[in-house]
Structure formats: C-alpha cells, structure tokens
Amino acid sequence: MSNLIQQSYDSARQRYADIGVDTDAAVKTLLGVSLSLPCWQGDDVRGFENSDGDLSGSGLMVTGSDTSRARTPEELRQHLLEALSLIPGRHRVNLHAMYGEFGSRKVDRNEIEADHFAGWIEWAEKMELGLDFNATCFAHPRAANGLTLSSPDEEIRSFWIEHIQRSREIASVMGKELGSPAVHNLWVPDGFKDVPADRLAYRERLKHSLDTIYKKSYDPSHMKDSLESKLFGIGSEAFVTGSHDFYISYAIQNNKMICLDMGHYHPTEQVADKLSALLPFTEELLLHISRGVRWDSDHIPVLDDPLRLLAEEIIGCGLERIHIALDFFDATVSRTGGYVIGARAVQKALLLGLLLPWDQLRTYEREGDLFARLSLRESMTMLPAGAVWDYCCHEAGVHTDINVLQVIQSYEERFLG
C-alpha cells in the first residue's frame, strides 16, 4: 500500500512541478500548521462543573444522541489523543473555563484558578500540545437571561468581569508553562430576542466592562486576547451587543485580535474575504472554523467551498499572522470521529491552498490577463491533490482518509466497552 502512495505521489509531484508548484514544500508547510481543537466537541459543551450544564440562555444548541460523549476529563483526553493520532502534525487543545478539574467541589466561575487546570497543563506538556483558553460566559444562572458584560445589573457585570480576569490569568499560566502563547478568546452571549429600546447603553456597558477586563496586560509570549462577534443567536435574533462592527472597533482601538467564526455572518458573506480586510489594521487574527448549514449550526467542517476559499486566503495572506481554531459540536456522530473529520478537512483545504501556483496567478493578474488567471485556477481543480494528501498522512505516520472509519469504529467499540 505505501508503495502505491509513494508512486502516486511521485507522479503528482511531477504534475505540480510542471506548473511551478513544489509539493514537498507544501507538505512540509502543512505539517507545521497547528490547529486548536475544541474541547467542547468531545462532550457536547457540557464541561466538568458540578452543575447540570444547562445551555439555555447561551444561544448554543447541541443536538444528537450518539453515545460516545466524554463524561470525565480522562475520557475527554482519551478522545482527544485518539483523534490527534489520526490528524497529521502537532496541534493544540482549546479549553473552556468550565472544563476545569474541580473534583467534587462546586467552584463558581468567579473562583476558578490555574490550579484547576494543572491536570490539563501537565497532560499537554507530556503530549507536546499547546493550549488555548476561553472564559465561559454561558451555561450559568447568572447568564440565564442572556446578558453578562452588558447587563444593566452591576453585580452581574462584576461577576463576569471577575471570571474573565481569572480566565486571562489562567491562559497566561498555560502559555508560560507550555512555552507557547495561549489565545484567550472572549465570546459573550449578550443580546435580545426582540428589538431593544436602548442599544447604545448595552454597547457602552460592554465597552466599559472590556476596558476593566483588559486593564491588566500580559506578556504576549504567554497570552494573547481575541474577541469574537456574532450576528445572531437563538434568543438573540434582534440584537447582539458584541456585533462585528463593535468588536472590530474595539479590537483595533485596543490592540486585540478579532476572532472570525465562520458561522457568525450572513450566509452569503465570505469569511475568506475578511482576512485581507482586517490584516492591514491588526497584527494577528483568530479563526473559528465551523460549518454553518442554513444558520450558525456549528456542523463539523467538510471540504466545501467556503472552507476552501478561506484556506486559500489563509495561505494567500500568510499563515504567520493567523491562528486557526476549530469550533463545532455534533452529538449525532462519534465525538472523536468528528474531531478527525473536521480537522482533516481543514488540513486538506489548506493543502489545496498551498498547491496553488500563486506566483503565476499573481503575474497573470498584474498583467491584466484575467482569462489566464481563470483558466489556470480552473485547471488546478482536477490535479492529483489527493495523492499529495495521502503522502502527507503517510509521512506523518497517520492513516489515510479511507482507513479513518475503521479506526474510529474500533476505538468506539473499545470506548463503549
């Protein structure tokens, strides 16, 4: 089998070389790209607090009843390791604050500390994984009416400010201990189902809360902040305090990263187009790669057009300034399998971007030969990228696509006992 992979690769390499694309370099670059895997795909956004993990008021909704959900930190780490063994390259795990290891204690969000994540940090260090972090501003009685940092209730705002300040601190400990900066991403659910009467007051309160939160600055080699906007959520259809315009303005003024989630824009908007619109004004960006089906449905990514276009732009704009996190949850299928399919789809999309003859396309464009640009792009679509991908998996010691199903099936059998 591996002989066939090698032979197919050799002939693919020649085909690409003929149009000036170096497949060895593409594979090498791809294997150097780290993706941040969402811990929440492994357990349906439940976390390990000793509460019932009620998502109401969050706008997030997990559907499905596949039995593979991780119920403990150990099971979640087991799922992640199994998934990582099927994803070429070295990656990161994206944790939410509610995934601390609290034992049987009830630790409220305004009490969390780095110690609650010591097990994760130790594990990540051992497995050579980076960690990223998120404050969890939902699935909590104090967020049940869908308002946190922009709430008119001062006590509620202070509670969440404290939580987020602690979360940033924890992120910085993670980054410091692992020697790789942790991105602390902030998303709050704030908004209204119906038309608000004082939009400005909510946004001013959000700004004020953020100013308090970000007063403390951290060494960027330990922690970096990002802000995630949203167009609407379930229960925040008419108004979202932290809209795209709001956070762009805030991020640019305060030197923070913007997080672009693929499910958080109008369905006809291309998130791909936003990278080059933001990069002239900001040093780095965070992506939440997801697949929206009709709405912000958080489906597992597959190699579809929006993802291909986004990956092309990541390559076109330069990988160095873009952090790639995945954001999805699907309880209808194997949680571990979901990680594998989603992450590998992103990698395949990136590979397609890396296999484009960028210099030639840009030359045609500069020269105004737009038919040549169109024609060359189109002639790339049927070249043997699959042979390069198989080779990449093989090089990384990871199964090729066709074997994923069986490996996941036998893992699930063992997991479910």
Q: Is 187 a catalytic residue?
A: yes
Between CA 235 and CA 242, with CA 237 as vertex, the angle to 5 degrees is 95
Interaction between residue 225 and ligand RNT (CB under 6 A)? no
**Smallest separation, CB 176 to ligand RNT (Å):** 23
Interaction between residue 246 and ligand RNT (CB under 6 A)? no
Of these residues, 190, 327, 330, 412, which one is catalytic?
Answer: 327
Interaction between residue 298 and Zn ion (CB under 5 A)? no
State both tokens at 131. 């960690």
Q: Is 330 a catalytic residue?
A: no
**Residues near 375 by Cβ (< 8 Å), separated by ≥ 6?**
none
**Smallest separation, CB 252 to ligand RNT (Å):** 20
Rounded distance between C-alpha atoms, residue 380 and residue 357, angstroms: 9
Rounded distance between C-alpha atoms, residue 383 and residue 191, angstroms: 47
Most distant CA atoms of the chain, gap in Å: 67
Q: Quickly tell me which residue has 């994206």 as its tokens.
A: 94
Q: Is the dihedral of CA 40, 42, 47, 53 positive or negative?
A: positive
**Smallest separation, CB 288 to ligand RNT (Å):** 5
Interaction between residue 288 and ligand RNT (CB under 6 A)? yes
Q: Is 44 a catalytic residue?
A: no
Stretch that binds Zn ion, among 91-99, 114-122, 237-245, 258-266 (CB under 5 A): 258-266
Compare residues 40 and 411 and give the one whose CB is closer to ligand RNT: 40
Instruction: Name the binder of 335 from Zn ion, ligand RNT, none, CB < 5-8 A by kind.
Output: none
Q: Is 228 a catalytic residue?
A: yes
Nearest to 202 by CA among 141, 136, 156: 156
Interaction between residue 187 and ligand RNT (CB under 6 A)? yes
**Residues near 161 by Cβ (< 8 Å), separated by ≥ 6?**
149, 209, 212, 213
Other beta carbons within 10 angstroms of residue 19's beta carbon come to 14
Contact set for ligand RNT, span 4-63 (CB under 6 A): 40, 45, 60
Contacting positions for ligand RNT (CB under 6 A): 40, 45, 60, 134, 187, 228, 230, 261, 288, 327
Catalytic center residues: 187, 228, 230, 261, 264, 288, 296, 298, 327
Contacting positions for Zn ion (CB under 5 A): 261, 288, 327
